[in-house]
Structure 1
Amino acid sequence: MPIGLIALALGGFGIGLTEFVIMGLLPEVAADFQVSEATAGWLISGYALAVVVGALLLTAAVTRFERRPVLAVLMVLFIAGNLVSALAPDYWLMMLGRIIAALAHGAFFGIGAVVAASMVAPTKKAGAIAIMFTGLTAANVLGVPFGTMLGQAAGWRSTFWAITGIGVLALVGILALVPRTGAGEAAPGGLRGELRAFRSRQVWLSILVTILGYGGMFGAFTYIAFTLTEVTGFSASTVPWLLILFGVGLFVGNTVGGRAADRNVDRTLLVALSALVVVLVVFALTAGSQPMTIASMVLLGGFGFATVPGLQMRVMKYATTAPTLASGANIGAFNVGNALGAWMGGVTITAGLGYTSPIWAGAGITLLGLAVMVFASAAAAKRRDGGASAAIARGADSEQENVEPQRA
């Protein structure tokens, strides 16, 4: 394993921690800034929207530059955003810090995925992307619970100081460990060349699968605390430990999904999305059982994140010579999926359908993602078969041309 992947994973860990740890610290932040918890919640929504903007605009702005220095600059931006958050004297400066950090999020993962894939053999690209995303899963398994405990014990600002320190370590690691060979050239024609990747129907289909497939899982996960306490009957103090089990599922699914995608991307996604639909349906039906809920939590994380390396690899595969912007756009698509799933889950709860309704909504969204994936895979297979048939026909014509002159 190239050691530079560890530096990318550390950056992913810090970014994942920034994104998710705020959920456990909202009461403290709201009390400190004297705002409602709903207003404090915009620190999450604002971050997600800024990720989408950064994934598209910031990635587009840096496509012509060498990738290792770009990753370093993005990490400096991430450090600055968390420093602003740690020092923020009021709510709006805290929001500014969140937005600055979020702008680096999408571009870092989008460009980092391209760099990670370029550091290994072609048959190990999805596995390399999975290693980078291991930092994100580790942030959920370990970072969020311990970051929340640190913030509750020493004040929420202490957590953002710790994240700033992680960012500094990641910056040093990127500069020292990521080789120049891990940075590719910009697409021919610069930004225009990168934009040409979006002429591919398969790129758009892959992005749509990302939105629907990941959005379904996140829709169920967003309101999971209400399901666990109000439906399953767990105490509130048990929820963080159950979330760790979910995180363990993320870690295992990410690793296994990356290895499977290296063998066959489309088959991996079809299997993982099908299994995810089944898990969500079973979870919704058995949410009143504590043992079944525990099993569903692990499997939800496992199959949900088993799709991530394959989804990222697929969009890069069909973007061919211009993968950077398409990769960043797909990172933005993950966050659009987050917003879609959370919104749908909220709609069902507001409609009075109960706290298992977000799980049903997640199953429906994921089923749509599976349908798109079936269509995309079939279209890709048809095109491959058509290309193979044309190549055989051209070969036969060439052979016939060579034979006929000899007869003459």
Structure 2
Amino acid sequence: MAVPNYLFLFNSTLSPTAVAYVNASPGPSACPCADWAPLTMTTVIPTIYSIICVLGTIGNALAVCVLAHGSSSRKTVANTFMLNLCVSDLLFLLSLPLWAVYYSRGYSWPFGRVACKICGALNNLNLYASIFFITCMSMDRYLAIVHPLRSQSARDPKRARLMCILVWVLACACSAPTLALRDTYHLEGLSVEACVILYPNHAWQLTLAWMKIILAFLLPLLAISCCYCAIGRHLLSDTGLVRMQSQSHPSNVPSFRSSESQEGCCKPERPPTPCVSPSSSGGRPSMGRGVEKVLWTVAAVVLAFFLCWFPFHCVTFIGILSSKGWLDSCWVSWTISNLTPLTLCLGFSNSAINPVLYCFIGNHFRGRLGGLCKGLCACLKARGEEHSQKRGSFSTRLSSFSRKLSDFKDLAIVETSGPP
């Protein structure tokens, strides 16, 4: 296959996702940015990838085990989205060891063309699928907390499963161009067979870069922020209403919120209404711990999403401006080539943070995980006891057989030594 005149290859750091525009025609021999030394990535990146892979695989695997082995009553809309999110992160994390080897070998891909395409596709699939599922979970939490009564018919587990199928199809469609264009290519400057993206022209690079920024960051961030701002405003106003009601009631008369909490009238899948009780001094209630926990959780979700992916998309945007000729300096080239893999590592760390934010913070999830561990320990203990009983039974049978054999020998000796 003839090599096109213009190639979109990985930059000097050969990040699995980011690409840079490279002219295949001979260029000037002198490097104008020789004073800007590149960062060494052959040790740092594999170490970070290994840490993310180990922690993320353990966390997501535990989450999948708990969510998949739950009873039918536990298969809620939120748990359906959580399960698919963890599966998406697990599929991506399985490819991280290959990328770690890729960096440690000086950007040489030893696994072949098919593995290059599959790992690149899993990378982009997780980039889209995980963010889409986080957005779906944010919208579901908004409906469950802000509109618990009107959303009961819409928040159906069957509809959630159909939504998950739609998310997977959309993520696969967004990842299809990268799967088709990714291939192995020999880089003469490094004398390695690299796993790169070969774009036929400049328009392809710009289109897919803008698609990542808009579909995988800006729109999800807008939706998530709107949902959690509405949740926080609703909870704060709800708490203010509770304070007003508790102040209008004597200290010995329970408020409506307290009676609702005592009677257990909360709707399914809705976070329990925080119980706010008057304080002993002056009858002024304090914010319930449930409200504080929900507010801190939603703030952590938005902050983690923003901090993990904002630097990578910023560098991608700088790359777009540089490719259009609007930014042209040594610091721009150095930033694109050196910070792209580091910001990508930060984005990948979101796969290890997700199960902590969405699963392990909840008391119910921790209780189910503890029950699953206890059940597993009990099963192993029962098998050990069964094995011990089998060994004891075998030893008893062997001892009985030995005694019978000894008695038989004694009887044979008596019969042979007796009178004729």
Fold equivalence (TM over 0.5): no
- More strand by proportion, 1 or 2? 2
Q: Which has the higher contact order (CA 8 A, sep 6+)?
A: 1
- What is the TM-score when the length of structure 1 is the normalising length? 0.29
- More helix by proportion, 1 or 2? 1
- What is the TM-score when the length of structure 2 is the normalising length? 0.28
